[in-house]
Structure 1
Amino acid sequence: MLGTTLPTPLYGLYRQQIGFSELIVTVVFAVYAVGVIVALLVAGDFSDILGRRPILLCAAVLAAGSALFFVFEQGLPELFAGRVLSGFSAGLFSGTATAAVLDLAPPGRRARAAFAATAANMGGLGLGPLLSGILAEYAPWPLKLPFLVHLCLLAVAAAVIWMLPETVHRRRPRPALRPQGMTIPPVVRGVFVPCALAAFAGFSMLGVFTAVAADFMATVLGVHNLAVVGGVVFSVFCASTGGQLLMGRVGPVRALPLGCVVLVLGLLLIGASLLVESLPILVVGAVTGGVGQGLSFRAGLTVIGSAAPELQRSATLSAFFVFAYVGISLPVVGVGALTVELGVRDAGLVFAGCVILLVSAVAMYLRLRPPAVR
């Protein structure tokens, strides 16, 4: 997952090298999310049939292909190809790795296993910008070295995956591999909708912050140090991991609406930072929003993972991630389009207002109709 956010602090360098607008930055970012969604819809249940390990190894190979496109990048075509492959890889990893961790959890430890899975997911997403920002600012080859390091990390990950025990016993005869579309078992649907809405709202904040924060910090705040940019983006995902840890004490039913309320507070602070052009307020808003996103995200994942039938767990989790990644893609492109007309600051304010309204509605719905947990 670290590789999917490696380019975040580097988009300014790519813009200088190639020459393109902020809208193109958001499109390049969103292409990754499209790749994730396609992989989830086409192959979200393949690990339920073929096993967890083969799909995880395939995802590692796709991630390596993405890194190679960035290493040998000559223009926009390589950026788009690298982001699409990164999306395919993340799409396979998201549901499959989470299902594998839940499968391997001993009795009574599934909640902790869900936290381990989501913490690895969000921790990787946060470490990507931090790693590439530090390397780009203080080491040679700023547009190549981060991806060479990523290739080394992938080699280690592939070796670990190879040694994992397989948790899926292949069925005979093996069902045909077909694109699954959206698979939401009837027994899960009552809890799926509110959890998916909360994930959509939280990921929309993460997506827009990741895509445009670097440009906002450079053009409005005058912050050009790529390590600082990577550190600020890292703080969002680090806070998300902290929110996920807090969910264990709050409980999933209470954490869903509470996470939405904290997310609204974070968005209000982010909007205030745009108005007064303050980096400290931006960081506080990012951390607050990340905590809210982490609370609601882990709660939703725990509720859905517990409710899903065992043979459809990976497919159900993949459908959940589809909703999350729709949230991380469509709003990003919308903000990019607004940036062309309004500028980064005003586009960010419009986005913050819209998401505040959405998250508030979701919080009210969850408060009135809390999901049942088995």
Structure 2
Amino acid sequence: MHTITIRVQDRPGVLARISELLAGHGCNINSLRVRPERRPGVSRMRIITSVDEERLGVLVSTMGGLQDVLEVRAAADRAATGYWLVAYGLFATILGLNLATPLYAIYREQWALSPAMVALLFAAYAFVVIPAIVCFGQLSDRSGPRAILAGGAAVSLTASICLATAGGVYALLAARALQGLAVGMFNGVAVAALTLLHPSADRHRAALLAAIAVTCGNALSPLLSGMLAEWAPYPLQLPYALHAVLMLPAVVGLLLLRLRAPASGKGRDGVAVSAQTACAEAVAVGANADSAGAAGAAKPGARDADDAGVAGQPPSAAGPGLTPPELGYIVEAAPATLRAATAPRSAGVLHWPRVPRAIRGPFYTASASSFIAWAAASLFMSLIPSYMNEWVGRASYVLAGITAAIVLGVSAVSQALLGRLPLWRMATVGFAFLLAGFGVLWTSMLFSSPLLLVCSALLVGLGHGPLYAGSLASVNALAPGEARGDMVSFFYVGTYLGVALPVLGLGYAAQQLTLLHAVELFLAALAGLSLLVWLRWRKYDEWRSPT
């Protein structure tokens, strides 16, 4: 990938001649930015295109001889570095989120924490994520994602330092809240930034990379801290110190990153790429990192027939010919001949997400399904690691990390394996595995069996994946284009409430009852809610096109 900078006379036909030359050399314009210089009548073009080194010299030399071309320079494209830097920042930020999972048992013993306080320590971040994800996605549409991403990385670094130096439970709660703020700043904004930095502004590939980064960060985090806590010194400091070191290059790199504001960004279809839109159109991809979204025929990025492509082909499937939708260019301050068709959308005021009345029924069904899926997964990331000795008869930080990692890792694999099923069938399979996992989990407590605990983690992971993926994909399929951003933001609100509220209730119940009875009540409540929601899923087909 190379960047070609061209100074041109601002006259009609100059872009057509440059495009024709590139097409003749078999090159697509992956992105194009045009802005006027101080000298009247002169503009500067910045073209990103794929061309090998051998042809680059010939191309630049020939381009310099075109009519109205004043100067041509070529250099290797730096956007690829920024693309992977944003992905790394997202991975590192998510990595820090669950480092505390295997360490709750140490905190509980060291500070005599109650089950309710352990649950609050885990859930504290979710209450900050909810407003953060709603606000920062909209703010990014106004000011651009660079400052928000750099700020999120800095907040994540600060949170790890606070966790490593925490001397009490309130310091831990504050640090967990900072982690929630960091995740809320990155979530969605990172997808928009990756889309802008992708050579062809491909929203699907950008969301795919974001999904992989989030999945890897979530799965590796408890495993890493569990191993360090089991076999390395300073178990309450070393995991966070290592994470702080990993965050440093992300903070510095994002501060230096050159990234245009998403309000002026155009995807391959010429539609402005905002943080909320990129997040919304990436929903199914984030849920299923192996397919074009679990929605199957409902393409996540498609807003109309032209955007969906022809006969299932993506919009970029065409050859070197440069029709307007394939240009996918970015215009910052173009001359009048280029500006008219590429004017950015105006940013709206901050608002609370809303769901259209006609699709509230299926939307709330999908949100309830995600709520249940994450409530089950959260149990393996909060109270189970904290009470491993009571659960299986011996304390093991590695086992605590493994069970949490299994749930999240198997979830990602099951999304890939089951993502092409019809949505209602994904929900059915997900609920079936979850209910089986609940039964095995209850049995593991009765017999204090580590093997049964691991089996229950496998089953819950197998249920979590298709249920979460199907819920996300159904929201993406149901949402009208103009409300998709709001619906996805609101969906995340329900998801993070599922992370926090059930576990807090379980922690409170464990204080009033025994741990076994509280878990039995928790599992019975989730099982009953699962059956009710599954009955609603059976009406999905008639809801998909509401009247």
Change (3 A) 1:115 1:239: farther
TM-score of the superposed pair, with normalisation by structure 2:
0.62
Are 1:146 and 2:146 counterparts? Answer: no
Which residue of the other structure, out of 361, 364, 372, is the alignment partner of 2:532? 361
Equivalent in the alignment of 1:48: 141
Equivalent in the alignment of 1:136: 229
8 Å CA contact 1:95–1:315 kept in 2: the answer is no
Deviations 1:226-272 (A, max 9, x none): 12211111111111111221233325453233322222222222222
After superposing the two structures, state which structure 1 stretch, 319-328 or 260-269, moved more.
260-269
Deviations 1:101-153 (A, max 9, x none): 57778999866665543443243222211111111111122111111111122
Equivalent in the alignment of 2:421: 250
Deviations 1:283-307 (A, max 9, x none): 1111111121111212232343455
8 Å CA contact 2:362–2:540 kept in 1: the answer is no
Equivalent in the alignment of 1:228: 399
8 Å CA contact 1:218–1:224 kept in 2: the answer is yes
Change (3 A) 1:189 1:249: same
Aligned-residue sequence identity (percent) comes to: 31
Which residue of the other structure, out of 404, 415, 435, is the alignment partner of 1:264? 435
Does the residue aligned with 2:427 lie in a helix, a strand or coil?
Answer: helix
Change (3 A) 1:67 1:314: farther
Matches within 5 A, 1:154-169: 154-158=247-251, 161=254, 163=257, 166=260, 168-169=262-263
Change (3 A) 1:217 1:152: same
Are 1:293 and 2:386 counterparts? Answer: no
For the residues of structure 2 that align with 1:98 and 1:5, how far apart are their CA atoms? 21
For the residues of structure 2 that align with 1:54 and 1:82, how far apart are their CA atoms? 21
Superposed displacement of residue 343, structure 1: 2.2
Change (3 A) 1:309 1:63: farther
Does the residue aligned with 1:229 lie in a helix, a strand or coil?
Answer: helix
After superposing the two structures, state which structure 1 stretch, 210-219 or 75-84, moved more.
210-219
Equivalent in the alignment of 2:131: 38
Equivalent in the alignment of 2:387: 216
Equivalent in the alignment of 1:14: 107
- The one-letter amino acid of 2:417's match is L
Equivalent in the alignment of 1:344: 515
For the residues of structure 1 that align with 2:189 and 2:486, how far apart are their CA atoms? 9
Change (3 A) 1:295 1:95: same
Deviations 1:171-206 (A, max 9, x none): 87964653x323335686465322211111101111
Change (3 A) 1:349 1:101: farther
Query: Which blocks of at least 5 consecutive residues in structure 2 are unaligned?
Result: 1-93, 265-342
Are 1:74 and 2:246 counterparts? Answer: no
For the residues of structure 2 that align with 1:348 and 1:273, how far apart are their CA atoms? 12
For the residues of structure 1 that align with 2:510 and 2:364, how far apart are their CA atoms? 31
Change (3 A) 1:104 1:258: farther
8 Å CA contact 1:261–1:360 kept in 2: the answer is no
8 Å CA contact 2:145–2:189 kept in 1: the answer is yes
8 Å CA contact 1:274–1:349 kept in 2: the answer is no
For the residues of structure 1 that align with 2:418 and 2:186, how far apart are their CA atoms? 23
Query: Which blocks of at least 5 consecutive residues in structure 1 are unaligned?
Result: none
8 Å CA contact 1:119–1:244 kept in 2: the answer is no
After superposing the two structures, state which structure 1 stretch, 355-364 or 48-57, moved more.
48-57
Superposed displacement of residue 313, structure 1: 4.9
Change (3 A) 1:338 1:102: farther
Matches within 5 A, 1:87-126: 87-100=180-193, 114=207, 116-126=209-219
For the residues of structure 2 that align with 1:102 and 1:195, how far apart are their CA atoms? 26
Deviations 1:322-349 (A, max 9, x none): 1001011111111101111222222111
8 Å CA contact 2:407–2:461 kept in 1: the answer is yes
Aligned positions, number: 372
For the residues of structure 1 that align with 2:199 and 2:361, how far apart are their CA atoms? 27
Bigger helix fraction: 1
Matches within 5 A, 1:185-204: 189=360, 191-204=362-375
After superposing the two structures, state which structure 1 stretch, 22-31 or 271-280, moved more.
271-280
Change (3 A) 1:167 1:363: farther
Does the residue aligned with 1:272 lie in a helix, a strand or coil?
Answer: helix
8 Å CA contact 1:187–1:307 kept in 2: the answer is no
- The one-letter amino acid of 1:64's match is L
8 Å CA contact 1:104–1:167 kept in 2: the answer is no
Superposed displacement of residue 315, structure 1: 4.3
